[in-house]
Amino acid sequence: MKKPVFTGAGCAIVTPFKGRDNSQVDYEKLGELIEFQIAGHTDAIVICGTTGESSTMPDAEHLSVIEYAVHKTARRIPVIAGTGSNDTAHGINLSKEAVRLGADALLQVTPYYNKATQKGLIKHYSAIAAAVDVPIILYNVPSRTGVNIAPDTLKELSKIPNISGVKECNLSQVSEVRCKCGDDLNIWSGEDGQVSMMLGAGGQGVISVVSNVYPQIMHDMVMKYKNGDVNGSWALQAKTLPLVKALFCEVNPIPVKEALNIKGWNVGGCRLPLCEMEDKNRDALKAAIKAFEESIS
């Protein structure tokens, strides 16, 4: 069995910005967020992923944020760096640099827009895995990338020693992936609303957006299940569902950044082309946060 990079809830952490046009990373705020996550028993920090707006980051900034997270976390929990690209050579270079800076593992999104074939996906991921010596978590999110990593492809990739697992957002294929890959591929949920279901399929936990705001809840949701309190895990899952709906009423990370701002974190906005929330959605998010906090008080 491949050792998982982490078990529990890893936070797909936002990148806080400052300046009128969100042009600067707010490193001091990022440090505060990381400390909040560790205090809330988050099991890993996933830096520069989709939620971290890596697609708007020049390479120098991207790597600077990874370096800061590694330094601030100081090996207390794993740092998983998003270094995926739709250009294999670019992905290799980013990955090598992230490893040099101390990342414990890498998150590799499926190549987007150019839509590789399944054969191309195997070649892409094999090349990146051969270039580094840390665990790799594949990130299968067809709704964003336009291509799915098929179960047979995951089975083939699971034979590569440092391909540790997959963050799976295509929930329709989880059972097939689990049956075909067994213990050779760890699975994490990429959907906050389907954590307990993934655990029931033998998953290791979740890479979570909700954890940005409520890290302890997401950690407990996984650990209750892992420790035998299945009903307790499902009860937390049920309580979070309206909140999850509100946090994804617009494209991620617009709502989660707004939620953090509502909670007083002042993380700034999103970089264009993402923009501020619609007023009606912001009001619904505020109401969902209030109702959720009343439900757990």
Task: Using alpha carbons, list the distances in angstroms from residue 261 to 57, 168, 256, 289, 293.
Answer: 21, 28, 9, 12, 16
Q: Which of 167, 224, 225, 257 is catalytic?
A: 167
Specify the DSSP class assigned to residue 122. Answer: H
Region of residue 277 (left: phi > 0; alpha: psi -120 to 50; beta: else): beta
Asked if 205 contacts 220 with a C-beta cutoff of 8 angstroms, the reply is no
Residue 167 is a catalytic residue: yes
Region of residue 92 (left: phi > 0; alpha: psi -120 to 50; beta: else): alpha
Task: Using alpha carbons, list the distances in angstroms from residue 171 to 102, 200, 219.
Answer: 32, 12, 21
Q: Which of 29, 72, 125, 139 is catalytic?
A: 139
Give the span between the Cα atoms of 169 and 167, in whole angstroms.
7
Give the span between the Cα atoms of 194 and 12, in whole angstroms.
16
Q: What are the residues facing 168 on neighbouring strands?
A: 140, 189
Residue 245 is a catalytic residue: no
Give the span between the Cα atoms of 119 and 136, in whole angstroms.
19
Residue 224 structure tokens? 């209750």
Q: Which residues are catalytic?
A: 139, 167
